[in-house]
C-alpha cells in the first residue's frame, strides 16, 4: 500500500513540476522571475524522478554503447569515488537557492550589493553540495539494506548538519523577503498572491526538518510525506508566480491556465494508459513509463516554442512578427473579450507590415456593413453594399470596382467556416503602385485569423448587432452631448483635489452649484475651494453602483468609481489600482477618461437643474 501511494505521489509531482516549469516560462518568457521559478520547479522534478527510479530501477544492460556507460554507472551506483546511487539522488539545494533568488527579485528596490552577495553565496552552497554528494560520502549515503520507501535509508554524513543549518536559513530568508514584499504593496490582490507564496515557502521548509529527523536521527518517515509537501509547494509556486507576472503586466490567465491544465491532464492520462498496457501485455520494464510520460509532457509543452522556431526558418522577419501578434490577438480576446480594441491593434500591425497608407476592416451585418476597425482611413461606406465586397480571393482594386473616393488598392476577403464574414481593405502602398505577390501572401495567414476572431465574436445575433452599430452609436452620443463644463477643467481639478487654494482659483467655482452651497461667512477663495472639492467628491459617489462594497476583484461596473475615488480622493498609486482591478494600463487609462467625462456631464446636468430652479 505504501509503495503504491509513494509511486502515485512522486509520479504526480514529476508531471506537475515539469509542466508548471514550462508553463511559467512560456507565459512570461522575458521575465527573469519566470525563468528562475521554472528552473526551481525543474530541479524539484529531479527529486521526484530520483525516487521513482529508486523504486523502479532500470535493468542493467551488459551490451551498451560507450556513450551510455556514464549514465549506466550513475544508476548502478559506481559514479566517481562516492559510490552514490540514484537514491541519494537529486539534491533540493539548487531549487531552494533558485527560489531565494526569485524572492529577492520580488522585493522592491532592486538588487543591491548585499542582496547580490547573498544570492551568489547561495549558488556556491549549491555547487558545493552537488560536488560533495557526487564524489564523497560526507553528505548523504544510502544504506544498502535500507528500505527506499523511508527517509532513514539515507544516512547523514559528517557535513550534513552544516548544510541543514544553511538550507534552513535560506528558506527563512526567502519567506522574509516575501513578507517584506507583502508589507510594501498596497494592492489587496497582490498581497494575497505574495502571502500564498510565503505559505508555499514555509511548507517546502518543512521537508528539511523531516530530512533531519529521518537521516540524522533515524526515525522511519515515509518518503511520500515530504514528496506530498513538495507537490503543494510547487503548485503554489507555479500558479503564484504566473499570476504575479500577469498582475505586473495587467493580464489575466484564468481561462488559459484551466485550458492548459485540462489538456495536459488528458495527454498524461492517455500516455499512462498506453504505458501500463505495454507493461502488462508486452513485459516492458515498469520504469520505462516514467520516461515516456516525461517525454509526453515536455514535447506537448514545447509545441508553441517549436512552432516559433520553425517560423524563423520558413518566414521572413516581418511575417513572423505579424503571425505572433495575430496569435496573441486571438488569445487576448479569449481572455478579455475586447473585440474592437484588438481588431484595431491587428489592423495597425498589418498596415505597418505591408507599408499600407491606410486600412479598414469591414464586417458583414444582417442589414448593413459596419467598420470594425480602421487605420488612417477617413472614408465612409454610405454608397457601398455587401455585394461590392464579396470576392473569392484577394483582389487588386482597379477601374470602377469600388468608388474612387474610397482610395482602396487591395481587397482581402475574410472567410470563416466557408462563409465570408467581412473584408480587409488596404489603401495604396507607400512606396509602390500596387502590392507585390509577397505582400499579398503575407496577408493570407493574418486574414484567416481575423476571420476566425470575427466569427467567434459574432455568433450570437446580439453581438452582430453590437458590432454593426458600434461606430454610429458612439458618433451619435458625441453629437447629442452638449457639455457645459470642459472635461479638461474637471480633470485639472481632480489632479489638485487636495489643494484648496488651487481649487479656489478654478473656473469651476463660478458654477451655481458652488455659489448656492457657499454661505455668506465663507468668503475666501479657500472656502470656495473646499466647497468645490465636496461637490466633486459627491459627484464621484454618484458613480458608485451600490452601497455594499465589491468583492475581492471589483466587477466591471465598479471600475469607473474605484479608479476616480482611489486615484484622486485616496491618492493611491495607479499601479496598485491596476493590480486591484486586474486590468491593463491601457484599459485603466480609457476607463479613467470615460469616468472623468461622466463626472463633467453629471456636473453639467446638475448645474442646468440649479439654473432652472433659480
pLDDT in tens, 547-595: 777 777 888 888 999 899 889 988 888 888 888 888 888 788 888 888 8
CATH, range 2-250: 1.20.1070
Is the domain spanning 317-480 CATH 3.30.450.40? The answer is yes
Inter-CA distances, 167 with 56, 78, 171, 274, 429, Å: 29, 28, 6, 40, 63
Q: Answer yes or no: is pLDDT of 459 > 60.
A: no
Q: Which of 22-31, 85-94, 422-431, 463-472 has the lowest mean pLDDT?
A: 463-472
Show Cβ contacts of residue 293 under 8 Å, excluding neighbours closer than 6 positions: 11, 14, 15, 268, 271, 272, 275
Report for 52-61, 231-240, 441-450: range of highest mean pLDDT: 231-240
**Phi and psi of 509, rounded to 5°?**
-70, -15
Q: Tell me the mean pLDDT in the region 223-242.
A: 86
pLDDT of residue 474: 46
**Tell me, what DSSP letter sits at residue 567?**
I
How are beta strands 154-156 and 359-364 bridged, if at all? unpaired
Q: Greater confidence, 238 or 566?
A: 566
More confident residue, 478 or 288: 288
Q: What is the pLDDT of residues 262-315, one digit of tens each?
A: 888 888 888 888 888 887 887 777 777 788 888 888 888 887 777 767 766 666
DSSP 66-123: GGGHHHHHHHHT-BTTTTB-TTT---SHHHHHHHHHHHHHHSTT---HHHHHHHHHHH
Position 73 pLDDT exceeds 70: no
pLDDT digits (tens, 9 = 90+) for 243-255: 766 555 545 455 6
SS3 percent helix, strand, coil of the chain, rounded to 5, is: 65, 5, 25
Task: Read off the pLDDT of each residue in 315-339 and give the average, rounded to a whole number.
Answer: 57
pLDDT given for residue 61 in this prediction: 60
Q: What is the mean pLDDT of the chain?
A: 77
Residue 58 pLDDT exceeds 70: no
Mean pLDDT, rounded, for 366-370: 73
pLDDT for position 60: 62
Average pLDDT over residues 317-339: 56
The domain locations on the chain are 2-250, 253-301, 317-480, 487-613
Give the orientation angle of helix 160-184 with respect to helix 113-135, to 10 degrees: 150
Amino acid at each position: 500500500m505504501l509503495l503504491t501511494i509513494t509511486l502515485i505521489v512522486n509520479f504526480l509531482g514529476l508531471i506537475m513540476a515539469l509542466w508548471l516549469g514550462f508553463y511559467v516560462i512560456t507565459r512570461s518568457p522575458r521575465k527573469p522571475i519566470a525563468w528562475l521559478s521554472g528552473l526551481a520547479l525543474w530541479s524539484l522534478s529531479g527529486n521526484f524522478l530520483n525516487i521513482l527510479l529508486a523504486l523502479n530501477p532500470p535493468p542493467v544492460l551488459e551490451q551498451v554503447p560507450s556513450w551510455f556507460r556514464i549514465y549506466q554507472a550513475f544508476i548502478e551506483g559506481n559514479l566517481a569515488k562516492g559510490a552514490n546511487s540514484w537514491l541519494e539522488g537529486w539534491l533540493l539545494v539548487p531549487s531552494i537557492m533558485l527560489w531565494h533568488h526569485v524572492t529577492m527579485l520580488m522585493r522592491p528596490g532592486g538588487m543591491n550589493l548585499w542582496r547580490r552577495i547573498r544570492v551568489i553565496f547561495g549558488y556556491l552552497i549549491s555547487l558545493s553540495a552537488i560536488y560533495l554528494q557526487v564524489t564523497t560520502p560526507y553528505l548523504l549515503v544510502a544504506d544498502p539494506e535500507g528500505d527506499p520507501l523511508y527517509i532513514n535509508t539515507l544516512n547523514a554524513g559528517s557535513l550534513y548538519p552544516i548544510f541543514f543549518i544553511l538550507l534552513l536559513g535560506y528558506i527563512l530568508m526567502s519567506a522574509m523577503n516575501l513578507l517584506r514584499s507583502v508589507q510594501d504593496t498596497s494592492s489587496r490582490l497582490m498581497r494575497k498572491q505574495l502571502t500564498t507564496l510565503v505559505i508555499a515557502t514555509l511548507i517546502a521548509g518543512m521537508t528539511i526538518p523531516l530530512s533531519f529527523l529521518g537521516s540524522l536521527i533515524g526515525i522511519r518517515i515515509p518518503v511520500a510525506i515530504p514528496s506530498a509537501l513538495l507537490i503543494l509547494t510547487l503548485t503554489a509556486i507555479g500558479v503564484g508566480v504566473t499570476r504575479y507576472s500577469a498582475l505586473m503586466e495587467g493580464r489575466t490567465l484564468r481561462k488559459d491556465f484551466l485550458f492548459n491544465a485540462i489538456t495536459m491532464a488528458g495527454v498524461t492520462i492517455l500516455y499512462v494508459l498506453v504505458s501500463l498496457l505495454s507493461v502488462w501485455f508486452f513485459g516492458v520494464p515498469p520504469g520505462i513509463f516514467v520516461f515516456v510520460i516525461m517525454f509526453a509532457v515536455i514535447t506537448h509543452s514545447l509545441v508553441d516554442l517549436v512552432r516559433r522556431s520553425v517560423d524563423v526558418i520558413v518566414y521572413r522577419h516581418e511575417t513572423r512578427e505579424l503571425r505572433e501578434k495575430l496569435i496573441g490577438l486571438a488569445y487576448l480576446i479569449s481572455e478579455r473579450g475586447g473585440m474592437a480594441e484588438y481588431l484595431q491593434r491587428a489592423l495597425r500591425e498589418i498596415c505597418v507590415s505591408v507599408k499600407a497608407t491606410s486600412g479598414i476592416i469591414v464586417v458583414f451585418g444582417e442589414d448593413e456593413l459596419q467598420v470594425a476597425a480602421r487605420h488612417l482611413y477617413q472614408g465612409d461606406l454610405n454608397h457601398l453594399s455587401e455585394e461590392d465586397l464579396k470576392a473569392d480571393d484577394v483582389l487588386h482594386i482597379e477601374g470602377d470596382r469600388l468608388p474612387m473616393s474610397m482610395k482602396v488598392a487591395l481587397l482581402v476577403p475574410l472567410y470563416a467556416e466557408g462563409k465570408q464574414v467581412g473584408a480587409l481593405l488596404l489603401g495604396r502602398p507607400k512606396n509602390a503602385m500596387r502590392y507585390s505577390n509577397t505582400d499579398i501572401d503575407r496577408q493570407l495567414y493574418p486574414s484567416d485569423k481575423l476571420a476566425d476572431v470575427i466569427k467567434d465574436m459574432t455568433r450570437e445575433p446580439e453581438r452582430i448587432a453590437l458590432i454593426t452599430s458600434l461606430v454610429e452609436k458612439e458618433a451619435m452620443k458625441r453629437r447629442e452631448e452638449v457639455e457645459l463644463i470642459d472635461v479638461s477643467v474637471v480633470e485639472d481639478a481632480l489632479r489638485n483635489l487636495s489643494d484648496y487654494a488651487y481649487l479656489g482659483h478654478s473656473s469651476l467655482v463660478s458654477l451655481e452649484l458652488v455659489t448656492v452651497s457657499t454661505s455668506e461667512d465663507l468668503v475666501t477663495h479657500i472656502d470656495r475651494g473646499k466647497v468645490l472639492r465636496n461637490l466633486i467628491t459627491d459627484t464621484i459617489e454618484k458613480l458608485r453602483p451600490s452601497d455594499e462594497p465589491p468583492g475581492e476583484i471589483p466587477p466591471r461596473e465598479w471600475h469607473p468609481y474605484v479608479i476616480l475615488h482611489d486615484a484622486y480622493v485616496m491618492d493611491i498609486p495607479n499601479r496598485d489600482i491596476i493590480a486591484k482591478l486586474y486590468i491593463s494600463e491601457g484599459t485603466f487609462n480609457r476607463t479613467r477618461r470615460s469616468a472623468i467625462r461622466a463626472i463633467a456631464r453629471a456636473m453639467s446636468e446638475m448645474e442646468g437643474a440649479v439654473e432652472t430652479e433659480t
